Amino acid sequence: MCEADTVAVARSFARSLQPGDWVGLIGPLGAGKSVFARAVGETLGVREPMPSPTYTLMNVLEGDIPVYHVDLYRLSSADELEFAGIAPYFRSSGVCLVEWADRIRDQWPATGWLVTIRIADNTERRISIAQLPSGP
Ligand SMILES: Nc1ncnc2c1ncn2[C@@H]1O[C@H](COP(=O)(O)OP(=O)(O)OP(=O)(O)O)[C@@H](O)[C@H]1O
Ligand SMILES: [Mg+2]
């Protein structure tokens, strides 16, 4: 799908989210994880810009419910998640959007969503959305 479709899918997905939901975003550099996350945030009522949390690891945004935008690209170890104080947000009542969630697979919550984006070409992406826990 093209970028406008990515945004449209993210918006309709966002409308199904509940407070406390956790969303892992998986895909290579430039896949569109941030594009997807921003569209979700906007739909959840975030009015401010959503700058990349690559260096801060996490940005807290105020929407209709709190939105925690996490980017684990620079995370060097899963322990850092605890040190950086991010882990508790995985169990909060806001919506948690976690780019590079595949880096902390053993710390995924019991329930949540996984959005996987594959790059087909410059402008085309394949997006799959799965619910955690994935079946047996
Ligand atoms: N179909 C598409 N869906 C989403 N983004 C697209 C699409 N086609 C092109 N793009 C472009 O791809 C880029 C995606 O950037 P984005 O920052 O969202 O990626 P990312 O997965 O968050 O990367 P990073 O790992 O660096 O955080 C943007 O420049 C966007 O305009
Ligand atoms: Mg990003």
What would the 3-class secondary structure string for 45-72 be? CCCCCCCCCCCCCEEEEECCCEEEEEEC
* 32-36, 75-79, 123-127: least confident range: 75-79
Distance CA 60, CA 129 (A): 24
Residue nearest to atom 11 of ligand 1 (CA): 32
Number of domains the chain contains? 1
Residues in the chain: 136
Query: Within 10 Å of residue 106's Cβ, how many Cβ atoms?
Result: 5
For ligand 1, say whether the CB of 119 is within 6 Å of any of its atoms.
no
DSSP single-letter state for residue 100: T
User: In the structure, what pLDDT confidence band is assigned to residue 135 with cuts at 50, 70 and 90?
Assistant: low
Q: Report how far ligand 2's centroid is from the alpha carbon of 28 (Å).
A: 9
pLDDT at residue 59 in the model: 96
What domain range is 91 assigned to? 3-132
pLDDT tens by residue, 57-108 = 999 999 999 999 999 998 888 788 887 889 899 989 999 999 999 999 989 9
> Phi and psi at residue 7, in whole multiples of 5°?
-65, -40
Task: Write the CATH number for 48.
Answer: 3.40.50.300
Residue nearest to atom 17 of ligand 1 (CA): 34
